[in-house]
């Protein structure tokens, strides 16, 4: 039995400090001295980071050897903390409680660690903003909501954090709300995410209807027990797709990605926090947390991987032609998130989380570096008006270069390790198990029975292998093309911003300077992390070629994968996409070499086009004017959404207004009133007060009665 620590109150403190920071800044911030205000927000996150380290170390130290399927493996177990016992009625038990396992431990370290650096950076970046008290209140609230999301022990606590993240993003994206465009950007982010939120809530109650619980651990037990898992199979696909739709909202995947580039309207540190450590990682985390549900139906994985690689590729093509430095990074985030969805789609959950971690470091570094440039350039974001800034901003330029090398997948930088693992997983994992049985926690489940129980696969499609195997090359090639474009557009941004001659006006040049220490120090720390964080997850071929197959050295080199093994143990064994077992080391090394060559080609092309032949981009744009226009207009997706959904809703609303005015009010309400008035007018003529007329009515009535009695057949 794996180790378990209950009533671990440290988890409550991790969440409490950011909430206190938000409350203090929100209620008292406007009256506090500026210097004190500068440290309340960062200090609350720093305390949360310290307790996160305590929690992670406690989890690590309680690890023990556990027998799983006859094999001795190291497991770290869990720690839980119940904040409030909410509902206990019959079989239903629901409380506000937190869960710490290797996955949530890693997430809270990323959220609070990167969050603290961004808070420190914000002290310098927002120094002259009169509403920075409100800024720090929102930023603390953002971190609090994200911690609630990742630490939730049940789906409803996660959903509360999920909604809190959405509200915080609305407040921060529209922080400068007096600017109408920025306010609209905040509204857009909020509204688009409501689609995903509805899908998440639907999945929660569909799962509850079938399982009778909201608790992750209880649902996992049901999903991994063959006797109960068979009952989940009919809803496995709809639940998986609903959860995936929820994830596409928060993590900006097709079709709900259009809000993220517009979210650049907020302060740059907000973009860094949102893109690196909080909101956009929420969708990836949700799928990883619910991996045992996604493993029940292979179709869900194929859909997720396909959408992920299409998003990665499509966003990268748009980034190629962006001139706003923050827009380049925004589409880069959408693309990198696509890589993570590709990974979870092929069952490589550990690879997705690994890239989530390395991406948090180098993407935060890129955004903060861009903020440093914008700060020095008097709020200018157009790279065509930059150039040659490395002479004025040596720290910013060098750290930005490190981040570009990392995201491009250059060897010895973190992005190489995580991106290469995703590409290799896409190539090697997209296969059906060659054996007829799938083993989950030592219990054999017949694959054919499982497939026949699937609502999609049962319709004459039992030969799944034939059409799934073909996806692996599609995923791999799309991933390589995206990697080439990533290297190209990131170094295009670097060369346009920091190399060559400065294209800014004389007034701007006279004010160019390196950022203050509060902004520069976070850049240096993140640069170090962008280099070293990859070394906890070496490619398998490295220890393999060194003859290491077990032991301390082997476990250290593959430490990241082993850290998360117990979280994804069900999916590692109970999935339709192969397993991480015997690696053909040469094939994996060749895959890595190809990705290195691809990245080098992208960097070299950017150097040739923007430093060696700077006139070439304009010439190429003229030659492929149509394609350039398509990319520049982002495939007109925003315009299509506006025409179909926004304008469609407006027209539908107007039609309803016409129907309400003319049919409901005019024909029904007013029409019935007219009929009643007319009928009343007719009846009122009977009450004329004329005795002779009354006598005639009586006589006619008597005649009719006599006729009715005499000739009843005529009635």
Residue 71 has a pLDDT of 57
User: Does residue 450 or residue 72 have the better pLDDT?
Assistant: 72
Q: Which residue has the higher pLDDT, 550 or 268?
A: 268
Spatial contact of 418 and 355, defined as CB atoms under 8 Å apart: yes
Confidence class for position 306, pLDDT limits 50, 70, 90: very high
How many residues would you count in the chain?
Answer: 715
Average pLDDT on 685-695 reads 70
In tens, the pLDDT along 211-250 reads: 888 899 889 888 888 888 888 888 889 999 999 999 999 9
629-680 pLDDT, tens digit per residue, is 999 988 989 888 888 888 888 888 888 888 888 888 777 777 778 888 887 7
Report how far Cα 170 is from the mean position of its chain's Cα atoms. Answer: 15
d(CA 88, CA 691): 78
d(CA 328, CA 320): 8
Q: Which residue has the higher pLDDT, 568 or 499?
A: 499
Residues 6+ apart with CB under 8 A from 318: 331, 631, 634, 635
- In this model, does residue 562 exceed pLDDT 60? yes
Looking at residue 467, its pLDDT comes to: 43
What token pair was written down for 284?
A: 């990836």
From the number of C-beta atoms within 10 Å of its C-beta (0-12, 13-18, 19+), residue 184 rates as middle
* Average pLDDT score over residue span 77-83: 87
What residues contact 552, with CB distance under 8 A and at least 6 apart? Answer: none
User: What pLDDT does residue 34 have?
Assistant: 85
Lowest-pLDDT range of 40-49, 63-72, 73-82, 410-419? 63-72
* pLDDT more than 70, % of the chain: 84
Task: Give mean pLDDT, residues 291-314.
Answer: 90
- In contact, 380 and 324? CB cutoff 8 Å: no
Average pLDDT value for residue range 500-511: 86
Q: Can you tell me the mean pLDDT for 476-482?
A: 92
Cα–Cα dist 308/344, whole Å: 9
For CA atoms 673, 675, 678, 680, give the dihedral sign. negative
Say if residue 70's pLDDT is above 70.
no
Q: Is residue 451 very low, low, confident or very high in pLDDT (cuts 50, 70, 90)? A: very low
- CA-CA distance, 55 to 101, in Å (whole number)? 10
Q: What is the mean pLDDT of residues 267-283?
A: 87
Q: Which residue has the higher pLDDT, 172 or 473?
A: 172
Please tell me the predicted confidence (pLDDT) of residue 442: 37
The pLDDT value given to residue 550:
56
Mean pLDDT of the chain: 83
CA–CA dist 57, 106 (Å, integer)? 11
> Residue 556: its pLDDT value, please?
56
8 A C-beta contact, residue 423 and residue 476 = yes
Would the pLDDT of 465 be above 80? no
Reduce the DSSP state of residue 297 to 3 states and report it: coil
Q: Is 128:379 a contact under the CB 8 Å cutoff? A: no
Model confidence at 575, pLDDT cuts 50, 70, 90, reads very low
pLDDT score of 545 more than 70: no
Give pLDDT tens digits for 32-60: 888 888 889 999 999 999 999 999 998 88
pLDDT above 70 (res 73):
no
| Whether residue 433 has pLDDT greater than 50 | no
pLDDT at 51: 96
Which range is least confidently modeled, 90-104, 490-504, 512-526, 614-628? Answer: 90-104
Report pLDDT for 384.
Answer: 92
Question: Mean pLDDT highest for which of 395-404, 499-508, 555-564?
Answer: 395-404
pLDDT grade, residue 438 (50/70/90)? very low
pLDDT in tens, 578-608: 333 444 566 667 777 888 899 899 999 999 9
- pTM for the model stands at 0.86
Q: Shortest CA distance to 332 belongs to which of 181, 487, 187?
A: 487
Annotate 409-444 with DSSP letters as a single string.
Answer: T-TTSHHHHHHHHHHHHHHHH-S--SSSEEEETTEE
pLDDT value of residue 307: 94
Residue 673 burial by CB count (10 A; 0-12/13-18/19+): exposed, middle or buried? exposed
Longest dimension (CA), the chain: 123
As a whole number of angstroms, the distance between CA 411 and CA 409 comes to: 6
- 64 vs 401: which has the higher pLDDT: 401
Residue 436 in this model has a pLDDT that exceeds 80: no
Q: Flag whether pLDDT at 265 surpasses 70.
A: yes
For the chain, what is the total number of helices (H) and then of strands (E)?
Answer: 33, 7
Q: Comparing 331 with 686, which gets the higher pLDDT?
A: 331
Best-predicted range by mean pLDDT among 82-96, 203-217, 439-453, 692-706? 203-217
């Amino acid at each position: 039995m794996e180790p378990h620590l209950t009533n671990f109150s440290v988890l409550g403190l991790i969440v409490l400090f950011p909430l206190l920071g938000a409350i203090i800044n929100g209620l008292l911030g406007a009256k506090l001295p500026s210097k004190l205000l500068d440290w309340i927000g960062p200090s609350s996150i720093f305390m949360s980071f310290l307790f996160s380290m305590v929690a992670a170390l406690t989890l690590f130290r309680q690890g023990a050897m556990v027998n799983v399927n006859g094999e001795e493996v190291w497991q770290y177990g869990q720690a839980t903390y119940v904040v409030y016992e909410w509902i206990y009625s019959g079989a239903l038990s629901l409380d506000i409680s937190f869960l710490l396992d290797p996955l949530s431990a890693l997430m809270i370290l990323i959220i609070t660690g990167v969050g603290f650096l961004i808070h420190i950076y914000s002290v310098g970046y927002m120094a002259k903003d009169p509403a920075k008290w409100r800024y720090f209140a929102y930023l603390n609230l953002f971190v609090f909501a994200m911690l609630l999301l990742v630490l939730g022990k049940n789906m409803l606590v996660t959903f509360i954090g999920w909604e809190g993240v959405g509200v915080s993003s609305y407040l921060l994206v529209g922080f400068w709300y007096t600017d109408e465009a920025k306010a609209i950007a905040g509204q857009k982010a909020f509204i688009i995410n409501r689609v995903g939120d509805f899908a998440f809530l639907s999945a929660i109650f569909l799962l509850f209807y079938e399982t009778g619980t909201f608790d992750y651990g209880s649902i996992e037990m049901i999903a991994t027990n063959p006797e109960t898992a068979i009952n989940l199979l009919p809803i496995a696909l709809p639940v998986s797709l609903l959860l995936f739709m929820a994830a596409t909202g928060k993590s900006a995947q097709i079709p709900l990605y259009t809000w993220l580039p517009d979210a650049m309207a907020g302060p740059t540190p907000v973009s860094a926090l949102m893109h690196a450590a909080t909101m956009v990682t929420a969708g990836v985390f949700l799928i990883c947390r619910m991996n045992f549900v996604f493993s029940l139906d292979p179709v869900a994985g194929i859909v997720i991987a396909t959408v992920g690689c299409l998003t990665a590729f499509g966003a990268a093509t748009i980034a190629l032609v962006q001139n706003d430095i923050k827009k380049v990074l925004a589409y880069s985030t959408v693309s990198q998130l696509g890589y993570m969805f590709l990974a979870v789609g092929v069952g490589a959950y550990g690879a997705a989380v690994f890239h989530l971690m390395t991406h948090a470091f180098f993407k935060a570094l890129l955004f903060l570096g861009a903020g440093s440039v914008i700060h020095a350039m008097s709020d200018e974001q157009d790279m065509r008006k930059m150039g040659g800034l490395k002479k004025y901003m040596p720290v910013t330029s060098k750290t930005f270069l490190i981040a570009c090398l990392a995201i491009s997948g250059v060897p010895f930088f973190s992005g190489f390790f995580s991106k290469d693992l995703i590409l290799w997983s896409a190539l090697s994992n997209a296969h059906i198990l060659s054996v007829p049985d799938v083993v989950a926690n030592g219990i054999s489940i017949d694959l054919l029975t499982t497939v026949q129980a699937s609502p999609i696969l049962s319709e004459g499609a039992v030969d799944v292998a034939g059409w799934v195997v073909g996806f692996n090359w599609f995923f791999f090639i799309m991933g390589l093309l995206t990697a080439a474009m990533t290297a190209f557009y990131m170094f295009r941004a670097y060369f346009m911003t920091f190399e060559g001659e400065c294209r800014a006006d004389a007034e701007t040049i006279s004010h160019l300077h390196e950022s203050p220490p509060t902004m520069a120090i976070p850049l240096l720390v993140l640069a170090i992390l962008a280099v070293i964080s990859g070394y906890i997850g070496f490619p398998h071929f490295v220890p393999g070629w060194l003859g290491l197959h077990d032991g301390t050295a082997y476990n250290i080199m593959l430490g990241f994968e082993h850290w998360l093994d117990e979280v994804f143990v069900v999916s590692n064994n109970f999935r339709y996409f192969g397993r991480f077992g015997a690696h053909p080391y040469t094939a994996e090394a060749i895959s890595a070499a190809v990705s290195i060559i691809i990245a080098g080609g992208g960097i070299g092309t950017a150097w040739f086009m923007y430093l060696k032949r700077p006139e070439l981009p304009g010439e190429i744009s003229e030659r492929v004017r149509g394609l350039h226009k398509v990319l520049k207009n982002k495939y007109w997706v925003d315009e299509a959404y506006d025409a179909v959904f926004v304008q469609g809703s407006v027209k539908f609303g107007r039609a309803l207004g016409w129907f309400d005015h003319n049919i409901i009010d005019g024909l029904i309400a007013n029409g019935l009133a007219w009929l009643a008035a007319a009928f009343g007018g007719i009846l009122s003529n009977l009450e004329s007060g004329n005795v002779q007329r009354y006598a005639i009515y009586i006589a006619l009535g008597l005649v009719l009665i006599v006729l009715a009695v005499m000739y009843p057949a005529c009635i």
